[in-house]
């Protein structure tokens, strides 16, 4: 497993990370344990979760139960900011909430520090300086090692870095956002900003909710039990005429090279700057092994240019 720096920070992460959003929800503790064991055996060191995953706390609790002494051997990332109650109290990025949210996460995870603590979404009610100063205090206390952000538009990433520089606080070292062969909007503004500030990128939904696994074909029956099949909101978003055409072209490209669409999706992301680790969820150990194997395709500059052409990003 290749190990990379997260941007220009000193934090080192595996090129494939494990998204833990299935724990405590889609799969039970025993199934989660098997996935974690397979990930560690495969050399994955980055485990990414959030306080709200698994029905508000379920994913963090599962990891806390499973990791034990292996906690010290991994990079544990979690997030805060999404609603953790129905009363609009346990939410956001204020100092008041951050100080309690981190204690709750530490308790569920059964650890005394978090390697990467990430703001899960923008909080329009809280000045970014207040958020950064609270996170600075957590870092000084040793409860947090590095800080990152997720789902922030490029202008807010720039604002956060400017604020960190002028206030003398630690900046975000990473951004976690959706990025895949069919969702490439962040290339226009966010990726240039991340590169300018030395931030690592942690793409989620690398397979576009399964569309890039190869199991979906236009005009063919939808796979039973798959995420897009079960969730109408994902079907409406991903199953567009444009995406079907792109996926067909990508599938033909992969087949021409005796590779799978899954391998293309992962290897392409691993080749993109400033991607540090490709975060993918799993419900079974065999998916872990497939994901780790999938980044081994060493795409050439010519391959990358052809992929851009297929995706309509060659202008």
Give the β-pairing of 46-48 and 75-80.
Answer: parallel
What confidence tens digit (pLDDT) does each residue in 45-95 have?
Answer: 999 999 999 999 999 999 999 999 999 999 999 999 999 999 999 999 999
Structure confidence at residue 225 (pLDDT): 62
Token pair, residue 230, equals: 């079960």
The whole domain housing 291 covers 3-209+262-300
Catalytic residue among 53, 117, 146, 179: 53
Q: Is the pTM of this model over 0.75?
A: yes
Structure confidence at residue 186 (pLDDT): 97
Token pair, residue 56, equals: 């508000």
Omega before 274 cis (within 30°)? Answer: yes
Structure confidence at residue 229 (pLDDT): 63
Token pair, residue 290, equals: 């497939």
In a domain, 151, yes or no: yes
Structure confidence at residue 233 (pLDDT): 77
Give the β-pairing of 3-5 and 174-178.
Answer: unpaired
Structure confidence at residue 302 (pLDDT): 96
Instruction: Give the residues of the chain that fall short of pLDDT 50.
Output: none
Among this protein's residues, is 53 annotated catalytic? yes
Structure confidence at residue 236 (pLDDT): 81
Burial class of residue 15 (count of CB atoms within 10 Å of its CB; 0-12, 13-18, 19+): buried
In a domain, 288, yes or no: yes
Structure confidence at residue 235 (pLDDT): 76
In a domain, 313, yes or no: no
In a domain, 237, yes or no: no
Structure confidence at residue 315 (pLDDT): 63
CATH number at residue 269: 3.20.20.100
- Count of the separate structural domains present in the chain: 1
């Amino acid at each position: 497993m290749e190990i990379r720096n997260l941007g220009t920070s000193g934090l080192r992460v595996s090129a494939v990370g494990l998204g833990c959003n299935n724990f405590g929800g889609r799969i039970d503790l025993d199934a989660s344990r098997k996935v974690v064991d397979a990930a560690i055996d495969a050399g994955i060191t980055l485990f990414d979760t959030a306080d709200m995953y698994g029905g508000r706390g379920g994913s963090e609790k599962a990891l806390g139960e499973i990791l034990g002494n292996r906690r010290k051997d991994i990079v544990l990332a979690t997030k805060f900011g999404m609603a953790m109650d129905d009363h609009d109290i346990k939410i956001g990025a204020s100092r008041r909430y951050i100080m309690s949210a981190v204690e709750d996460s530490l308790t569920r995870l059964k650890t005394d520090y978090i390697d990467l603590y990430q703001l899960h979404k923008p909080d329009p009610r809280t000045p970014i300086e207040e958020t950064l100063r609270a996170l600075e205090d957590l870092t000084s206390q040793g409860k947090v090692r590095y800080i990152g952000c997720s789902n922030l538009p490029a202008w807010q990433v720039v604002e956060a870095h400017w604020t960190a520089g002028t206030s003398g606080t630690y900046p975000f070292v990473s951004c976690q956002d959706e990025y895949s062969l069919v969702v490439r909007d962040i290339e226009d503004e966010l990726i240039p900003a991340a590169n300018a500030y030395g931030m690592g990128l942690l793409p989620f939904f690398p397979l576009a909710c399964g569309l890039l696994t190869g199991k979906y074909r236009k005009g063919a029956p939808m796979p039973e039990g798959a995420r897009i099949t079960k969730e109408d909101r994902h079907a409406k978003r991903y199953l567009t005429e444009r995406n079907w055409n792109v996926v067909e072209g990508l599938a033909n490209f992969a087949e021409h090279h005796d590779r799978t669409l899954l391998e293309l999706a992962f290897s392409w992301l691993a080749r993109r700057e400033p991607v540090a680790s490709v975060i993918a969820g799993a419900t079974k150990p065999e998916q872990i092994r497939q994901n780790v194997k999938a980044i081994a395709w060493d795409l050439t500059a010519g391959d990358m240019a052809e992929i851009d052409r297929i995706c309509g990003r060659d202008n």
